[in-house]
Amino acid sequence: MNLRQQIVHDRVEETSHILKISDNDEAFLRFTHSLITGLSIHVFDPNDLVDGGQDKQIDVITIEEDDEQATVYMLQAKNSTSFSSNALIQIRNGLNWIFNKSRADVKTISNVSFRDKIFEYRSLQNGIGPSNIRIIVTFATNGLSSTISEEFQQELKTIRDEYDNDTFADFRIDICGANELVTLLNTQERQHRSIDDSIRIRYDANNPSLIKYYSQGLKGLVCTVPASEIARLVNDDEEGSIFDLNIRRFLGSGGGVNKGIRSTCVDVQLSYQFWFLNNGITIVCDQFDAVTDPDSPHIRITNMQIVNGCQTATTLALAQKEGDLAADVRVLLRIYEAADDDLVNKIVLTTNNQNKISNRNLRANDPIQIDMERAFSIYNYHYERKPRQFVDKDIDTSRIIPNEQVAQAYLAIALKTPSDARSRKYKVWGQFYDKIFGGQIVEPHIILVLIARYTTHWLRAKGLNSSDDETKRKIAKNGAFYIARITAYLWHGNDEWRISQDILKSQLLELENDISILDTHLGVALQIFEDIMN
In the listed set 316, 343, 370, which residue is the last one of a domain according to the structure? 343
CA dist 297 and 200 (Å) reads: 6
Residues 299, 365, single domain; the answer is no
Q: Please give the model's pTM, rounded to 2 decimal places.
A: 0.63
What per-residue confidence (pLDDT) applies to 226?
95
What per-residue confidence (pLDDT) applies to 258?
78
CA dist 91 and 88 (Å) reads: 5
In the listed set 343, 377, 411, which residue is the last one of a domain according to the structure? 343
Residues 138, 216, single domain; the answer is no
CA dist 244 and 303 (Å) reads: 11
What per-residue confidence (pLDDT) applies to 117?
93
Flag whether 336 is in a domain. Answer: yes
What per-residue confidence (pLDDT) applies to 200?
92
Choose among 436, 435, 412, 410: nearest CA to 423.
Answer: 412
In the listed set 276, 311, 343, which residue is the last one of a domain according to the structure? 343
Residues 232, 325, single domain; the answer is yes
CA dist 101 and 121 (Å) reads: 13
Please tell me the total count of domains within the chain.
Answer: 3
Residues 6+ apart with CB under 8 A from 127: none
CATH number at residue 72: 3.40.91
Residues 312, 201, single domain; the answer is yes
Buried b (16+ CB within 10 A) or exposed e, 372-384: bbebbeeeebbbb
DSSP result, 16-43: HHHHT---HHHHHHHHHHHHHH---GGG
Choose among 313, 189, 301: nearest CA to 243.
Answer: 313
Residues 435, 319, single domain; the answer is no
Rounded to a whole number of angstroms, the CA Rg of the chain reads 25
Residues 381, 465, single domain; the answer is yes
Residues 172, 261, single domain; the answer is no
Residues 48, 157, single domain; the answer is yes
Residues 17, 158, single domain; the answer is yes
Flag whether 227 is in a domain. Answer: yes
What per-residue confidence (pLDDT) applies to 363?
76
CA dist 433 and 15 (Å) reads: 31
Choose among 310, 364, 372, 375: nearest CA to 342.
Answer: 364
DSSP result, 58-99: --EEEEEEETTEEEEEEEEEE-SSS--HHHHHHHHHHHHHHH
What per-residue confidence (pLDDT) applies to 466?
80
Flag whether 354 is in a domain. Answer: no
What per-residue confidence (pLDDT) applies to 429?
81
What per-residue confidence (pLDDT) applies to 162?
93
What per-residue confidence (pLDDT) applies to 190?
47
First to last CA, the chain: 55
Residues 501, 374, single domain; the answer is yes
Flag whether 327 is in a domain. Answer: yes
What per-residue confidence (pLDDT) applies to 244?
73
What per-residue confidence (pLDDT) applies to 217?
75
What per-residue confidence (pLDDT) applies to 193?
58
Residues 394, 509, single domain; the answer is yes
Flag whether 356 is in a domain. Answer: no
pLDDT in tens, the chain (534 residues): 788 898 899 889 989 988 889 888 999 999 999 999 988 888 888 889 997 665 678 999 999 887 778 999 999 999 999 999 999 999 999 999 999 999 999 999 988 889 999 999 999 999 999 999 999 999 999 999 989 999 999 999 999 999 988 889 899 999 999 989 988 887 665 444 578 889 999 888 777 788 998 887 789 999 999 999 999 999 988 767 788 776 555 666 555 667 888 999 999 999 999 999 998 999 988 889 999 888 889 999 988 888 888 889 999 999 999 999 999 999 999 999 886 666 777 777 677 654 334 356 667 767 888 889 989 999 999 999 877 778 767 788 889 999 999 999 999 999 999 999 888 888 888 888 999 998 788 999 999 999 999 999 999 898 888 888 888 888 888 899 999 999 999 999 999 998 999 999 999 999 999 999 999 999 999 999 999 988
Flag whether 395 is in a domain. Answer: yes
Residues 204, 148, single domain; the answer is no
Residues 6+ apart with CB under 8 A from 305: 192, 195, 242, 243, 244, 245, 246, 283, 284, 285
Which structural domain, as residue segments, surrounds residue 32? 3-189
What per-residue confidence (pLDDT) applies to 81?
92
Rounded alpha-carbon distances, angstroms, from residue 307 to 215, 241, 312, 458:
21, 11, 12, 43
What per-residue confidence (pLDDT) applies to 358?
39
Q: How far is CA 530 from the centre of its chain?
A: 33
